Amino acid sequence: MPTLYTQAENNIKKTWFLITSFLVFIIFIGWIFSRVFENPLILYLAVIFAFFQSFASYWYSDKIVLAMARARPIEKKDNPELYRIVENLCIGAGLPLPKIYIIDEDQPNAFATGRDKNHAVVAVTRGLLERLERAELEGVIAHELAHIGNKDMLLQTITVTLVGFVAILSDWFLRMSRYSFSKKKEKGFEFLFFFAILASILAPIAAQLIHFAISRKREFLADATGALITRYPEGLARALEKIASYPRSMKFASNATAHLFIVNPFRGSKIANLFSTHPPIEERIKALREMSL
């Protein structure tokens, strides 16, 4: 059972395991494609691109996520009260001040991203600032700072770019396979070709499962850590109630970035919520209200 003190170390291990697995997966897919198209250059390109993509995911994935969310940076003069809240909570959490971004969305929500605590970002929506009371806003910010302190955000952010790339790679092969199948009839080719087709169909599904591989317990842990920072679990509990009760989905959220937010930005059926990377909001609120500090 992970604790507040072991979770950060575990997340570092998970991050490097994820990157290594991605490298192996891309090389394997490249080998299959090179056999199907009878061109070893494909394998070499797959290896080069896998290393390049992993490097880019580590250094630039936060910028990609912020661009996808259409978040814009703000300075202290733009919102002094928000800056004071973040500064005070960073002192309590023992963290350097992250960059602060605003998302022009009516839905109240927030996320943290960045490769480490010295290159971290906290992004909040306009709706969050408009609808939450100060104690509730402090609870949300503390939750996001907990993700930074627990080193959750790098693991979450890298997932965004890897899932997207696997989907593109799969789509590319399925399109190219039509030409390959019509041109090649060598013995044993059909088996390899249909194995590659199967891999291409299953690859995006496997990539989506990465979302579920990132344990829902990290949200419970961030809730608990955030409550310890503010010393007021009720503030975060009320914030979660308000965020979850908002009826409309975010305009600029995507399936690739949904797991980053404090609450799932999509509003759907209970069946859809079963496949969410977020634990049920009722369970999170109950856990917060049962905390004793």
Q: Which residues are catalytic?
A: 144
Please, what is the angle between helix 7-36 and helix 189-213, to 10°? 160
Q: What does the radius of gyration of the chain's CA atoms come to, in whole angstroms?
A: 21
Report the distance separating Cα 30 and Cα 228, nearest Å.
47
Q: Which SS3 state, helix, strand or coil, does residue 111 take?
A: strand
Listed residue (145, 136, 158) closest to 89, CA to CA: 145
**What are the respective helix, strand and coil percentages of the chain, to the nearest 5?**
70, 5, 25
Half-sphere exposure of residue 195, counting CA atoms within 13 Å on the CB side? 12
Listed residue (161, 289, 278, 291) closest to 219, CA to CA: 278
Report the distance separating Cα 177 and Cα 183, nearest Å.
10
Tokens of 176: 């190219």
The strand pair at 99-103 and 120-125 is best described as: parallel
- Alpha carbon 162 to its chain's center: 10
The strand pair at 110-114 and 99-103 is best described as: unpaired
DSSP for 222-269, written as a single string: HHHHHHHHHT-HHHHHHHHHHHHH--S--SS--TTTGGGBSS-S----
